[in-house]
Chain A
Amino acid sequence: MRYGRESEVLKDISFDLPRGSFHFLTGPSGSGKSTLLKLIYLAEQASRGRIEIFGQDLALLKRGDRPLLRRRIGVVFQEFRLLDHLSVFDNAALSPRIGGRKPADYRSDVADLLSWVGLGERMHAMPSALSGGEKQRLAIARAVINRPDILLADEPTGNVDDAMAFRILRLFLELNRVGATVLIASHDTALVARSGMPVISLDEGRLAPVAAFDPEPGP
């Protein structure tokens, strides 16, 4: 994968994420973690190579079929990508709304999830009034509201305290337990170690040997 005439960001990478698996994606800044996630959630197209999701080759996927595939993928963006003109509740309800569901069918789900991530008292607020941690929790709520088949998260615990980080990890583990395939890009070694889940490591755009994590459990 390369951007324009730049050197390749990702090269010679080959791996398989089995359905229902849970992986962490680690590596130093600039190693290509975000680009790899972008390729999976179809924000970028690979300049060479082959990516297959749900048995479909993305290079052969028709443009009209891409939205249907995207609806099965929940994404927590590093920069949140919240819609500033919409309230917390409207942001969290975005995916079911776009999926064509009636508001009455998902109102209570959205309210329950927002309460669960600690935004029950902020449902009416606008994103500009939220702290970094609150924005991150809202981004997570938006990504998981549709119970996606694949959950991708780019540094999802970067702006929350440890207690909330482990709470979020439990949410991801719960989604994984009910069948979602989870891939989380993270620098949080404590979180990775605590989860006990397998790791895919990148270094300068290539798969790297996985470093051993401190097996000592976290709080």
Chain B
Amino acid sequence: MSLAFDPAKWWPAPLLPRRDGRDWALLFVVAALSFLAGLAAVGALAGERAAQGWRSELTGSATVIVRAQGTDTPDEAAARAEETVAGVRGVAQALPLDAAKTQALLAPWIGPGGLPPDLPTPRLIAVELDPKAPASGEAIRQALKAAGLDADVDDHSRWAAQIMRAGVAVEVAGASLFALILAVLGAVIAFATRQGLAARRDVVEALHLAGATDGYIARLFQARFARSAAQAGLAGALLAAAAAAALKLSSAGDEQLTALLPIAWRDLIAPAPFPVLGALVAAVTARMTAMAALAGRP
């Protein structure tokens, strides 16, 4: 057997012992953190996209409520308002809702019987704005006033602002969760590094006494944990992408779920930064922890 060993072909073996049970537990934790971070990133992107969609729907339209006055019937007032609004610059289309549609909108509150036909209900006009240069609510309001119509304009700005705030909140929550998970990863790596130094005390002492600097020994732990974090992070990120893909495929026929969480295929690369950032955090944390621990030794 000894003849099989050729010193000329020898290459140095890793100075730290190979992985043991503790390291596998660490890999599992890092993979789980990466999985959660990946899902958080995909969720933040999809949530932001949902908010963006709702916001563009709201900002791209307005509703005019017109009430008949003087000798006008409600239908006549609605026709005049439609004509007036359609003439405003920045309005793409104005569509009055007929009495039946108005009744249908009110049905949840007044029941299926509807209102008495002689009750002068206000008419609604759905206004579609030019997406490139949309008219402001104030411009429409002024035009209606100039036409002598008693009308209110709801440009949905109140709802749009709330949705915008919700979208920002989703983004901030996603980014915060991602940062929190990275911080947890750092804490886990710091703990694992201290454990590793304690468990391999004999190796560390032998290296020190052979003339290794603190930086040399710290680099061994730094490389070990960065590699572990990258590998486990990649596994977790792939699982998160697979889970997001499965969620997208399973929600294909569910309009409500798709509207709430509109995952796009390109979102599946959102977990990709975690293995890289995780490795970076692990490397920095392991080095700082090891250097601090080694500084206390002779």
Contacts and interface: CB of A to CB of B under 8 A. Distances in A.
A38 B18 CA distance: 30
B214 interface: yes
B5 A123 contact: yes
B2 A124 contact: yes
A107 B8 CA distance: 7
A24 interface: no
Given A81-B202, A87-B13, A95 B4 contact: no
Given A43-B298, A108-B7, A81 B209 contact: yes
B206 A110 contact: no
Contacts of A5: none
Interface residues of A, number: 37
B197 to A, nearest CB: 15
Contacts of A89: 5, 7, 10
Interface string A98-112: 110001000110110
Contacts, number: 80
A75 interface: yes
A71 B211 CA distance: 5
Contacts of A142: 210
B191 interface: no
Interface string B203-227: 1011111111110100000000000
B13 A70 contact: no
Q: In the complex, which of the residues B7, B12, B209, B210 has the most CB atoms of chain A within 10 Å of its own CB atom?
A: B210
Interface stretch (A13-21, A61-69, A210-218): A61-69
Contacts of B209: 41-43, 70, 75, 81
Contacts of B12: 90, 93, 97, 103
Contacts of A81: 202, 205-206, 209
Contacts of B5: 89, 123-124
A85 interface: yes
Interface string A139-179: 00010000000000000000000000000000000000000
Contacts of A90: 12-13
Interface in B1-33: 1-2, 4-5, 7-8, 10-13, 15, 17-18
Contact of A45 (B13, B206, B298): B298
B213 A67 contact: yes
B166 to A, nearest CB: 54
A166 B214 CA distance: 37
Task: Give the interface residue-count category, chain B.
Answer: 20 to 34
Contacts of B298: 42-45
Contacts of B203: 83, 85
Contacts of B146: none
Interface in A34-59: 41-45
Contacts of A93: 10, 12
Contacts of B17: 85
B13 A67 contact: no
A122 interface: yes
A107 B10 contact: yes
Contacts of A117: none
Contact of B206 (A41, A94, A103, A108): A94
A95 B12 CA distance: 12
14 contacts: A41-B209, A71-B210, A81-B202, A81-B209, A83-B203, A86-B15, A94-B206, A94-B207, A94-B210, A95-B210, A98-B207, A103-B10, A120-B2, A122-B2
Given A43-B298, A93-B12, 10 more contacts: A45-B298, A70-B210, A81-B209, A83-B15, A83-B206, A85-B13, A95-B211, A107-B10, A108-B8, A123-B5
> Which 8 pairs show the lowest CB-CB distances between chains A and B?
A71-B211, A124-B5, A111-B7, A85-B17, A121-B2, A70-B211, A67-B213, A98-B212
